[in-house]
Amino acid sequence: MAEREVAAYVIGKRYDCDECGAEMVRDGVDPTVLTTWPPKYPHRCANGHVANLTRSYPGHNVLITNEDVPRAIRRRQPPVSGSDS
């Protein structure tokens, strides 16, 4: 088997407040995780509503496809020393 490069996409995830629709975020200063099972993460929206969620938002997933990476966007190799290009 040989290694090959395939396309991947980063998909962002956000959680909107159930009460007002504003984006819920974790406090970047306070890394609190509640010791429940499953663990919960405190979030707050811009309007002050609080929710304890089972995932941390904002977040992301990476979707790896089976599509080959087009040649145009593959990593460029440095030129070989002494070449005329």
- What pLDDT is recorded for position 52? 92
- What pLDDT is recorded for position 18? 95
CA–CA distance, 61 with 22 (Å, rounded to integer): 21
- What pLDDT is recorded for position 53? 92
Contact 22, 47 (CB under 8 A): yes
Residue numbers of the chain with a pLDDT score lower than 70? 28-30, 71-85
Delimit the domains of the chain by residue range.
12-67
- What pLDDT is recorded for position 76? 57
- What pLDDT is recorded for position 79? 60
Q: What is the pTM of this model?
A: 0.63
